[in-house]
């Protein structure tokens, strides 16, 4: 069984911290969206780079791709099609933005629960050393790669290379 690749949208795929630039970063296009949770009258702008879709599709031979985002299933409507991704399963968070153990990000415990003992890689812009330590201590010994991304930049070539190498390394151990 393939390891999971748990993908956050805002930060890794949508470098939201770069939205205030007049010109989007190279390769990114501004899209206007209206996900259910967006309560502003104006559409929510997101920056997306179709090369991310190509890279993720390539990683699909090594991983089972899963949305790990507050967009939940709406990532399949607003994000995936713009990146050329098929419909993906998603983590349906039991609670969003709530309290979390030991200084961890609120998603961390749910990511471990969702993985249910399967090896996983997780890309998110909110991951810290607290999350890595918590996963090591509470993850049941499962192999896990927690990959932080800069929300001003999003996923870069080095991130995709690291994800591929990590998955390939799991195969060598199995």
| Contact (CB, 8 A) for 52 and 154 | yes
Nearest to 13 by CA among 151, 157, 171: 151
Per-residue pLDDT tens over the stretch 30-75: 999 988 877 778 898 999 999 999 999 999 999 999 999 999 999 9
Q: pTM, whole model, 2 decimals? A: 0.93
> What domains lie within the chain, and their CATH numbers?
4-15+49-173 (3.40.50)
9-24 tens-digit pLDDT: 999 999 999 988 777 8
Residue range 137-157, pLDDT digits in tens: 888 889 999 999 999 999 999
Task: Identify the CA nearest to 16 among candidates 36, 30, 37.
Answer: 30
Nearby residues of 14 by Cβ (< 8 Å), 6 or more positions away: 46, 47, 48, 79, 154
Pairing of strands 64-67, 29-33: unpaired
Residues 24 and 30: beta-carbon distance below 8 Å: yes
CB 120, CB 4: distance < 8 Å: yes
Residue 171, pLDDT score: 67
């Amino acid at each position: 069984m393939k390891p999971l690749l748990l993908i956050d949208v805002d930060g890794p795929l949508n470098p939201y911290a770069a939205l205030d630039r007049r010109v989007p970063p190279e390769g990114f296009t501004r899209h206007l969206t209206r996900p259910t949770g967006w309560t502003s009258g104006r559409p929510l702008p997101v920056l997306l780079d179709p090369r991310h879709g190509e890279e993720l599709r390539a990683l699909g031979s090594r991983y089972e791709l899963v949305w790990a985002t507050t967009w939940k299933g709406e990532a399949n409507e607003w994000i995936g099609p713009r990146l050329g991704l098929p419909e993906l399963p998603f983590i349906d968070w039991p609670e969003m933005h709530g309290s979390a153990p030991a200084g961890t990000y609120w998603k961390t415990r749910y990511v471990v629960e969702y993985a249910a003992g399967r090896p996983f890689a997780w890309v998110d812009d909110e991951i810290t050393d607290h999350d890595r330590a918590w996963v090591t201590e509470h993850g049941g010994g499962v192999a896990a790669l927690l990959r932080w991304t800069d929300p001003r930049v999003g996923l870069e070539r080095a991130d995709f290379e690291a994800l591929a190498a990590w998955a390939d390394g799991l195969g060598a151990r199995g």
